[in-house]
Amino acid sequence: MAQSALAWQGMQTPRRGKAYSSWAGAARTGEMIGFSPPRRAAIQRATLPFLVLLSATMVMLGKADQVMFESLRVSVTDTALPALDVLSRPLAALGHLTDRARDFVTVYQDNRRLAEDNERLLNWQQAALKLASENARLRELLKLTPEPVTTFITARVIANSGGAYVRSLMVHAGSDNGVERGQAAVTGEGLVGRVSEVGSRAARVLLVTDLNSRVPVIVEGPQQRALLTGDNSGRPCLRYLDAGAGIKIGDRVVTSGQGGVFPPGLPVGVVASLDGEAPRVEPYVELSRVEYLRIVDYGLADGLPKPVPIASRSGRRAEPFAGAQLGRR
Amino acid sequence: MALRSAGTPAPQRVDNPVARLLPIATTLLATVISIQPAHIPGYAALTPAFTLMAVYHWTIYRPDLLPPLAIFLIGVTQDLLAGVPPGVTALVLLLARAIVLRQRRQFVNRLFPFLWTGFTMLTGGVMLFLWTLHCLIDGVLIDFRETVFRAVLTISMFPIASFLLGRTQRTLMGAG
């Protein structure tokens, strides 16, 4: 291949000396720093195999030491942020336009549904107010330590992974805004994932569906603890369930709080299928349509183990429950 | 000389710096488009390999203006931005360039169906390679169906990408 390129470039040289000097690439670089033609040709010939080898080495190094490229990744992300932010807006606008058209068509049904919902929710509001005051009274009686105050940052999604092998989102908020590694990413419907990398102005959220995502959960109903394990499909699996756990389709799945990464009780999804080797969960959040999400600080981010450099790493994988949501990224 | 005798046309001289940067710029743009959130259910996993389309096009028409170093840097940038293990896209794009450059004379000045057939074969190989690589990296057997759908989507989007790249090339570089 490099030979063909050479032949092709060589063919140009005698006929068009000027064009030769204006060409981009390794040849030009070589000429600029004054290599002789045979040397330049050798460099040219070696460039492609060298870069192929370099890429392969990077893949292997990245596999062996997963922390190695994190700072590079974070700085590249921060640098590319303005471009990604600007370019993501037209697509988002297009999405709004189609949403608006759909809303226009369904306005009558939506109105009826919302009126019914409103009536139902007003009843719930009364129940919630009653429970809240009862809770407050009981907490006072028990002298219960107050739960840490949760704060959140709303961030816009500016990029995704664009491929079949990784499920993550990049959001326009970083350490400058108070985002920290390990914080939960949620929408009004439920859990989206957790912050896996933080730059100064951007952060990456590893989705619950990613191959490397592990979330300790409880299946409400049978009150079964399990590990929600992503496999890059739209429906993550429930692993480490007791045999004969009595799980049914439609059971709610919420975070268990085990491992100390997420607080208990965050809605995740519902059991959607019991076929195959493990039950599958349909997340409440439609992950491909998320445009804004909240990065929530429950005061628990310290619970996430810090990435361990390869030199001091003893085992290859962490214990599933102790290192909740550990992953490559 | 071998290439000339096989009918490869001499590439037109390009003095305009904007036009000379066109292959790199469009490949970089393809990278950015690849990671744009489209808010379409299921799209993220099936996003066509736009960068591969750009590399294929420019390797056939102007390999001089899209050198291996640029492909490497663009590939690594895409990996870092997408959260993919660094080096994967760079490796795939460089291998694609190597293969296409070897077969380049089969495609230059041929009808579009030849070009498309070549791209179909390349995409098939690339997707299979990517799938194998990710299975090895993650240590699990990844569902192959999404890879197949992604390949089909990539192949079916190629005519549009080829048309747009060709038009831009002609506008900025003259005939080509």
Q: How far is CA B171 from CA A156, B28, B153, in A?
A: 36, 19, 27
- Distance CA(A293)–CA(A275), nearest Å, equals 32
Rounded to 10 degrees, the C-alpha dihedral B100/B101/B106/B110 comes to 80
Q: Measuring CA to CA, which residue among B150, B95, B28 is closest to residue A166? A: B150
CB B86 within 8 A of CB A62: yes
Binary contact (B45, A23; C-beta < 8 A): no
A152 beta partners = A296
Binary contact (B2, A231; C-beta < 8 A): no
Asked if A166 is an interface residue toward chain B (Cβ–Cβ < 8 A), one would say yes
- 3 state SS of A174: coil
Residues of A in contact with B36 (CB under 8 A): 84, 87-88, 91, 159-160, 162
- Residue owning tokens 């807006």: A89
Residue of A nearest to B95 (CA): A52
Phi/psi at A189 (nearest 5 deg)?
A: -80, -35
B window 108-127, beta carbon within 8 A of A = none
Binary contact (A52, B41; C-beta < 8 A): no
Binary contact (B97, A73; C-beta < 8 A): no
Looking at residue A305, what is its pLDDT? 55
What own/partner pairs with CB < 8 Å and gap ≥ 24 does A23-29 have? A23/B64, A23/B65, A24/B20, A24/B24, A24/B64, A24/B65, A24/B67, A24/B70, A25/B64, A25/B65, A25/B67, A25/B68, A25/B69, A25/B70, A26/B67, A26/B68, A26/B69, A27/B64
Task: For B82-136, give the DSSP string.
Answer: HTPPTTHHHHHHHHHHHHHHHTHHHHTT--HHHHHHHHHHHHHHHHHHHHHHHHH
CB A47 within 8 A of CB B67: yes
The total of other beta-carbon atoms located within 10 Å of residue A91's CB is: 16
Structure ipTM: 0.84
- Distance CA(A149)–CA(A267), nearest Å, equals 19
Q: Measuring CA to CA, which residue among B138, B29, B145, B76 is closest to residue A213? A: B138
B74 in any annotated domain: yes
Binary contact (B64, A25; C-beta < 8 A): yes
B82 in any annotated domain: yes
**CATH value of A65-105+150-304+319-329 in 3.60.10.10, 3.90.1150.10, 2.40.10.340, 3.30.43.10:** 2.40.10.340
Asked if A221 is an interface residue toward chain B (Cβ–Cβ < 8 A), one would say no
B30 in any annotated domain: yes
Q: Which of B12, B80, B95, B157 to mutate to test the interface with A (most CBs of A within 10 A)?
A: B80
pLDDT digits (tens, 9 = 90+) for A9-57: 333 333 333 333 334 444 444 444 566 777 877 887 888 899 999 999 9
Strand A280-283 versus strand A292-297 pairing type:
unpaired
Average the pLDDT over A133-139 and give the result.
88
- Residue owning tokens 């949760």: A150
Looking at residue A278, what is its pLDDT? 85
Q: Which of B1, B35, B52 to mutate to test the interface with A (most CBs of A within 10 A)?
A: B35
Least confident of A11-25, A133-147, A218-232, B101-115: A11-25
* Structure-model confidence comparison of residues B143 and A162, the more confident one: B143
Task: For A26-50, give the DSSP string.
Answer: HHHHHHHTT--HHHHHHHHHHHHHH
Asked if B102 is an interface residue toward chain A (Cβ–Cβ < 8 A), one would say yes
Asked if B65 is an interface residue toward chain A (Cβ–Cβ < 8 A), one would say yes
Residues of A in contact with B75 (CB under 8 A): 55
Q: How far is A305 from chain B (nearest CA, A)?
A: 20
Residue of A nearest to B131 (CA): A165
Start and end residues for every CATH 2.40.10.340 domain found in chain A: 65-105+150-304+319-329
Size of chain B in residues: 176
Provide the angle, in degrees to the nearest 10, between the axes of the packed helices B88-102 and B50-61: 30
Q: A2 pLDDT band (50/70/90 cuts)?
A: very low
Residue of A nearest to B141 (CA): A231
Q: Which letter, b or e, does each residue of B48-61 get, where b requires 16 or more Cβ atoms within 10 Å of its Cβ?
A: bbbbbbbbbbbbbb
- Distance CA(A29)–CA(A7), nearest Å, equals 18
Compare CB distances from A59 to B40, B85, B104 and report the shortest one's residue. Answer: B85
Binary contact (A7, B2; C-beta < 8 A): yes
Task: Domain of residue B42: give its range.
Answer: 14-171
* Tokens linked to B90: 């760079």
Task: For A265-306, give the DSSP string.
Answer: T-EEEEEEE--SSS-EEEESS-GGG--EEEEEE-S-GGGSPP
Q: What is the pLDDT along chain B (176 residues), one digit of tens a residue?
A: 333 334 455 566 777 778 888 999 999 999 988 888 877 777 878 889 999 999 999 999 989 899 999 999 999 999 999 888 899 999 999 999 999 999 888 888 888 999 999 999 999 999 999 999 999 988 888 888 889 999 999 999 999 999 999 998 888 777 44
* Structure-model confidence comparison of residues A142 and B72, the more confident one: B72
Residue of B nearest to A205 (CA): B83
Residue of B nearest to A45 (CA): B68
Binary contact (A232, B143; C-beta < 8 A): yes
Q: Where are the alpha helices (DSSP H) in A143-289?
A: none
Looking at residue A64, what is its pLDDT? 80
Can you list the positions of beta strands (E) in A102-229?
A: 151-160, 168-171, 184-186, 191-198, 203-207, 214-219, 224-229
- Distance CA(A62)–CA(A314), nearest Å, equals 17
Q: Where are the alpha helices (DSSP H) in A106-160?
A: 107-142
A window 52-71, beta carbon within 8 A of B = 52, 54-59, 62-63, 69
Considering its fold, how many domains does chain B have in total?
A: 1
B window 45-64, beta carbon within 8 A of A = 45-47, 63-64
CB A169 within 8 A of CB A157: yes
Average the pLDDT over A312-326 and give the result.
40
How many interchain CB pairs under 8 A, A with B? 217
Residues of B in contact with A81 (CB under 8 A): none
- Distance CA(B89)–CA(B94), nearest Å, equals 8
B36 in any annotated domain: yes
B9 in any annotated domain: no
What CATH number has the domain bearing residue B157?
Answer: 1.10.1760
Looking at residue A130, what is its pLDDT? 92
Residue of B nearest to A81 (CA): B81
* Tokens linked to B138: 């993650």
B2 in any annotated domain: no
Burial-class residue B110 by CB neighbours within 10 Å (0-12, 13-18, 19+): middle
CB B107 within 8 A of CB B73: no
Asked if A271 is an interface residue toward chain B (Cβ–Cβ < 8 A), one would say no
